Amino acid sequence: MNKGVLVIVILIVLFCGGFIVFTVLNNNEEDKNDINTEIIENNRTDNETDTNTSNEIANNNADNDISEINDESANQNEINNEYDDGTFRVREIDNESFNSSYKIIEEEEVAKNSISIEEKDNNLTIAILKTNLNESLLENGGAITYDTKYDISNINADDVDTIFYGMEGQDWDYPLIFILQKDGTVKGIDMENGYKTGEFIAKNISELKNVDRFEQVDVTPQNNSGYYAVVAITKDNLVYEVGVK
């Protein structure tokens, strides 16, 4: 074999070897890229899973927090048992607390002597009398004239069982007037509004039912403050403190 042919053979061998090496390296690079792509995709999937899991946990925690808040509010309302209709507030008192912390006293004469309620044509009228209490309440003006009879709206005299005159607080304020009806329901007169406008309205106190009587009480044993209140006692012996908002 002459030298020329030998050189050509060597070149062909080198060329083929180089091509094979290039092909192997290229395939390895493609495999590496495929592996990297798969790793990236797996990481992305794992991250998305972690994110979804974190969001789910956060949402669950938020739901739990809201539930706990709602439960806490419900429990607080259940503990307080207090109702507010915008004019009057009613708070249930357990018998043990009532017996230990409330003392029944005489119906307040200062309230009864300051107001006159009469029946007229199956309706009720109210007159504000000139007393020290009323002079104090009307010191800054009002819409009523002493000893003038004003109609009480939203009440039928035939439905009335008893009318209770009470006081609330440490300092004498507007009297509390509660009308116990024959069916055990109660209406209260918004006295502050009456003094200021001349309109006396008997409003239903929906939370009070099956009421037997009202009592004036001294709450001093409970808070040592000289605080007076009014309670409604039902025929089932449930006790409610009733006052103005």
Sketch the domain layout of the chain as residue ranges. Answer: 1-80, 84-244
In tens, the pLDDT along 18-35 reads: 545 445 444 555 554 554
Asked whether 127 and 116 are in contact (CB, 8 A), the reply is yes
In tens, the pLDDT along 186-206 reads: 999 999 999 999 999 999 999
pLDDT at position 12 is 63
**235: helix, coil or strand?**
coil
Query: Residue 72 is encoded by which pair of tokens?
Result: 């806490």
Tokens 């004498």 belong to: 172
Query: Residue 51 is encoded by which pair of tokens?
Result: 């994110």
Asked whether 149 and 181 are in contact (CB, 8 A), the reply is no
Supply the DSSP string of 113-150, one letter for each residue.
TTEEEEEETTEEEEEE---HHHHHHTTT--S--TT-EE
For the chain, the farthest-separated pair of C-alpha atoms sits apart, in whole angstroms, at 148
Percent of the chain topping pLDDT 90? 51
Query: Residue 38 is encoded by which pair of tokens?
Result: 């798969």
**Rounded-to-integer distance, Cα 144 and Cα 139, Å:** 12
Taken in order 18, 21, 27, 29, is the CA torsion positive or negative? negative
- For the chain, residues with pLDDT lower than 50 are 13, 19, 21-22, 24-26, 32, 35, 39-40, 51, 57-58, 62, 65-79
Dihedral over alpha carbons 178, 182, 162, 102 (to 10 degrees): -60
Q: What share of the chain is helix, strand, coil (3-state, %, to 5)?
A: 45, 30, 25
